[in-house]
Amino acid sequence: MQSQSKANQPIIAQLGHPVLRKKAELVDDILSDECQNLIEEMMLAVEKANGVGLAAPQIYQSLQLFIMCSKPSVRYPTAPTMRPTAIINPEIIEVSDELEKGWEGCLSVPSMRGLVPRHKRISVRYYDQNAQMHTRVFDDFIARIFQHELDHLNGLTFIDRLESPRDLVSESYWYEHIANKQ
């Protein structure tokens, strides 16, 4: 379960790498040292990258595991704060009928932003890093993160969810023309 790294920094898989297009495998032993070390490595990686989420395939591990860690940042100034959470073997149980388009970026698709429709509210089930099952309801930005990261576990990126190629912009254009108007 070791990720590829340079100078002790995880390398984030970039769009085009085959690991990002595979359906990830279930995690069998959440409490194993390997899994616990991977979770710790991912928590550090997402913090260093200033992301709000990171899926195991993004660090070359095709496993049903992602980290959610919403917080305000330059990339997401209005993001709510939540403590970093390992989400293992996740599933969406129910979704709201209401979809909402919102701007997303991705550590595996640098320098791009897309206007992506997502369910506004979702009911989910997952295991945490202590192998405890949780059933939760997430809405708005947290629901968006969950859906974005779950897509990575199913071999998808936010680009696959765009309704039109016109909904994709460079991040520099987004910062200059869109970010300040939200």
139 backbone dihedrals φ, ψ, rounded to 5°: -135, 170
DSSP 63: B
| Active-site choice (149, 163, 171, 176) | 149
176 part of the active site: no
Q: Is 134 annotated as a binding residue?
A: no
* 152 carries a ligand binding annotation: yes
Cα-atom radius of gyration of the chain, to the nearest Å? 16
Alpha carbon dihedral 132, 138, 70, 107, in 10-degree steps, equals 90
Give the span between the Cα atoms of 103 and 10, in whole angstroms: 25
Length of the chain: 182
| CB-CB contact of 63 with 74 (8 Å) | no
Annotated ligand binding at 106? The verdict is: yes
Catalytic site positions = 149
Per the annotation, binding residues are 106, 148, 152
Per the annotation, binding residues for Fe cation are 106, 148, 152
